[in-house]
């Protein structure tokens, strides 16, 4: 039975990842800041990806295990004031801590667990809003830059971890009906996650470090 570790698994896309992997017969290690908010089966453990001590405690708890797949899903949309002239710089810093530093800390903490598994994969939920080539509307400084920086960090990570046989992929889930995406979003979580799961399953060494949408199509950096 393969094992998947999912961050931010208590709601939205993370919860749907947990639901679908459970249905597929995987062992799911779900994590979130408040385990009481997780309402599915499987293991649930506390984790705050913005807190290095929290990540270290989780790694210690799972020490020695083999983890086939880490899904770095946890993230925030950033502060309400993220437009030029009204930027919340403290909120911007927090967005970078969660969306950028959190996933890379997770990679550092769990690389050996992933490397000793059969699948050896890490998936990072990013956003097309982090694409420099695709930015034609401006604004959203905090969120955009956090995802652009994550894209670059994972690109570097894919090179650094290649000798261990670990495959890293960046996945844009689409505009999804979640608390963050809102009710107007055209894609439901089940469709988005099913697509991303398929992209993860198909990923080979040739896909290491690629930026893909939920349908598995390459996106511009």
| Residue 206 belongs to domain with CATH number | 3.40.50.720
Q: 125 in a domain, yes or no? A: yes
pLDDT at 175: 80
Q: 205 in a domain, yes or no? A: yes
Cα dist. 178→3, 16, 118, 154, 184 in Å?
25, 11, 32, 25, 10
CA dihedral in degrees (63, 146, 170, 121; nearest 10)?
Answer: -10
- Which residues of the chain fall below pLDDT 50? none
Q: 92 in a domain, yes or no? A: yes
User: Which domain covers residue 44, as residue numbers?
Assistant: 3-213
pLDDT in tens, 80-133: 877 899 999 999 999 999 999 999 999 999 999 999 999 999 999 999 999 999
Q: 218 in a domain, yes or no? A: no
pLDDT at 101: 98
Q: 158 in a domain, yes or no? A: yes
Q: 220 in a domain, yes or no? A: no
Q: 115 in a domain, yes or no? A: yes
Q: What is the rounded end-to-end Cα distance, in angstroms, of the chain?
A: 35
Three-state DSSP string of the chain: CCEEEECCCCCHHHHHHHHHHHHCCCEEEEEECCHHHCCCCCEEEECCCCCHHHHHHHHHHCCCCCCCEEEECCCCCCCCCCCCCCCCHHHHHHHHHHHHHHHHHHHHHHHHHHHCCCCCEEEEECCHHHCCCCCCCCCCHHHHHHHHHHHHHHHHHHHHHHHHCCEEEEEECCCECCCCCCCCCCECHHHHHHHHHHHHHHCCHHHCCCEEECCCCECCC
pLDDT at 192: 96
pLDDT at 180: 66
Nearest Cα neighbor of 129 from 114, 141, 113 is 141
- CA 6/CA 82 separation, integer angstroms: 28
Give the count of domains, the chain. Answer: 1
Give me the phi and psi of 194, to 5 degrees please. Answer: -60, -40
Q: 103 in a domain, yes or no? A: yes
pLDDT at 181: 63
- CA 45/CA 33 separation, integer angstroms: 8
């Amino acid at each position: 039975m393969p094992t998947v570790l999912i961050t931010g698994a208590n709601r939205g896309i993370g919860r749907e990842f947990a639901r679908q992997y459970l249905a597929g017969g995987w062992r799911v290690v779900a994590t979130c800041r408040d385990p009481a908010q997780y309402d599915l089966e499987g293991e649930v453990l506390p984790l705050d990806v913005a807190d290095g001590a929290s990540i270290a405690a989780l790694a210690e708890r799972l020490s020695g295990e083999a983890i086939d797949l880490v899904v770095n899903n946890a993230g925030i949309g950033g502060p309400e004031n993220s437009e030029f002239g009204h930027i919340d710089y403290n909120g911007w810093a927090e967005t970078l801590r969660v969306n950028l530093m959190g996933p890379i800390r997770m990679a550092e903490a769990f690389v050996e667990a992933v490397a000793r598994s059969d699948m050896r994969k890490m998936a990072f939920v990013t956003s097309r809003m982090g694409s420099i080539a695709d930015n034609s509307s401006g604004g959203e400084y905090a969120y955009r830059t956090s995802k652009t920086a994550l894209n670059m960090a994972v690109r570097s990570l894919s090179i650094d971890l290649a000798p261990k046989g670990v495959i890293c992929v960046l996945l844009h889930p689409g505009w999804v009906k979640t608390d963050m995406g809102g009710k107007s979003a055209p894609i439901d979580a089940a469709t988005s996650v099913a697509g991303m799961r398929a992209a993860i399953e198909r990923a080979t060494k040739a896909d290491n470090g690629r930026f893909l949408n939920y349908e598995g199509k390459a996106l511009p950096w």
